[in-house]
Structure 1
């Protein structure tokens, strides 16, 4: 049996133009899945190995979900469909990975929703501060028609298919300047955001000097003092070892951040209906496994970060919520006041 491996490597810093030149349609031809009706690989009985991009390392909450997906994919296909994981942004930053899936040079990737607002405006919703009350609220929304509609828009406008609404979790602030008890303590701190205008506005409203920066550059920027603050879920903070360059952790819980598992729509559409069904079923089985790992790691790593020497504070969240109201005044009309209200008041 001939084994087909999709060469989804996207070197960091390559532009979309270079990607197109490098991959130039040969990708599909070599994979044997260029039949517009799909199914050539299935009909030939050949195996396929999908490259999967992850921002974090082995053992992370993202990796738990991706490995569960790969195990189910292999089980359901009797070993014919497999994955190869590429950790720690080795295929490029999150925006590059999404662009790579869009042009079918990267097979599958898991990223935050931060870069997705640049493709579909409604995804900026996930950057809105204090939109979700808790995990159950977030899951209820994502697993409803709201999540389905957002996924359909990304597929249509970016050529990227969401396989499962996996997660990063609730995000918290860290810095190297001072402990945070209220928004006043954030004044003039140099804070890194994702590449999202909503996030820049949020952290500006909270008093920081907010600047967007690509994920692979963040650790070094914090280490060198170019940036003094960042925010991420606790498993990410621990996985990246931010405790080495940050002294303070504030449990701000300001944003719930999905990390959708996504696939090139062009690649997905080229597969047989049977393989498409296997992929979707594998993702569905892996989803609760990843979410459970995310919550469990978040609980464990708050103490682990404290054990590493970080000073943990429990800020006044009501003061934070009041400070970011201007973000809703600006962005709710642009994202859609109806959908924002629907999400905030979603019954679950």
Structure 2
């Protein structure tokens, strides 16, 4: 009886070991970033929720390809997970673009409301349908502020003459055009070198990213814009997800939810400290003139109407505004 029990236990352990998997997560940003923080917390949660059966390995700094490439790889099932900026999913699932409309989200609370409520669930369903990937977590990185190496920028006129790098995202490109300049679309992996070599003068990203990427080495001035709250989802290949047993699927979803909650707290605890650190390193921070009124008017009046159709109609925008307790358009 003892040898039989031992044999059953051995076979059970062998099956468990055979089914164990080390999931790979492509991470666009570097060490110290909100993306890494969420990824590490997700890894810890998944390991605990599967009793150590599954583990996660992070590949930072775009080691596994550009953010848009990782969406393709995940759709094909050749990559398990990716952590990336929301604007890099939009080309594959346009309705997600509602989260990149300038000034749609004006606080962390509003970002949480949109991503974790019914609208967020609809966007998750859409990405599964459109792109073959499933959003299982949300990184909250804060507002994308403008940095540059030439001069303080407080007004739209101050933007003139600056070459500003933006992601290859139509909404963000059109936002800068509405503000009066033609931005330079560029892959994230090329951005630091372009700033260093003066190919471009500036870029926009959250304080947390400016810190983790050491942009203080190549940038001096920051404009404290609030035009786009940066959200960076954790996606899993839908085919990889469906290949897992029910318990593992549930563990992935629960780990993603826990990591999302952790990310919100991480932002609150870290952003002001990081902002003060950038000031200590010699960066100068300016506020946009007149409470950002001119920036807001140009962006919402000139950009929003152009994207109603691609994000599912004007009614989708109004649904988001209602969820946020704001006036419909």
Taking structure 1 as the reference length, the TM-score comes to 0.85
Residue matched to 2:263: 290
Partner of 2:73: 100
Q: Distance in 1 between matches of 2:245 and 2:179?
A: 50
Query: Alpha-carbon deviation of 1:333?
Result: 4.1
- The structure with the largest alpha-carbon Rg is 2
Instruction: Report SS of the residue matched to 1:192.
Output: strand
CA 105–288 in structure 1, closer or farther in 2 if over 3 Å, else same: same
Q: Deviations over 1:255-281 (max 9, x none)?
A: 012111110111110111111111111
1:326 to 2:302 alignment: yes
The residue number in structure 1 matching 2:317 is 340
Q: Secondary structure at the match of 1:209?
A: coil
Deviation track 1:153-172 (CA, whole Å, cap 9, x = no partner) reads: 10111110111122232111
Distance change (3 Å), C-alpha of 1:53 and 1:42: farther
How big is the shift at 1:42? 6.8
Determine the C-alpha separation between the residues in 2 that align with 1:67 and 1:43: 23
**Matching residue of 1:207:** 180
Which residue in 2 is equivalent to 1:120? 93
Instruction: Find the aligned partners of 2:305 and 2:249 in 1 and give their Cα distance.
Output: 42
The size of the alignment, in residue pairs, is 308
Q: Which runs of 5+ in 1 are unaligned?
A: 1-40
- Unpaired runs of 5+ residues, structure 2, are 1-13
- TM-superposed CA distance for 1:96, in Å, is 0.8
CA contact 1:183–1:323 (8 Å) conserved in 2: no
Contact 1:111 1:259 in 2 (8 A): yes
DSSP 3-state at the match of 2:136: strand
CA RMSD of aligned residues (A): 1.6
2:239 to 247, 266, 285: 266
Say which of 87, 91, 96 aligns to 2:60. 87
Which residue of 1 is the match for residue 104 of structure 2?
Answer: 131
1:43 positional shift = 6.6
TM-score (norm 2): 0.90
Please give the alpha-carbon distance, in whole angstroms, between the structure 1 residues aligned to 2:74 and 2:287.
39
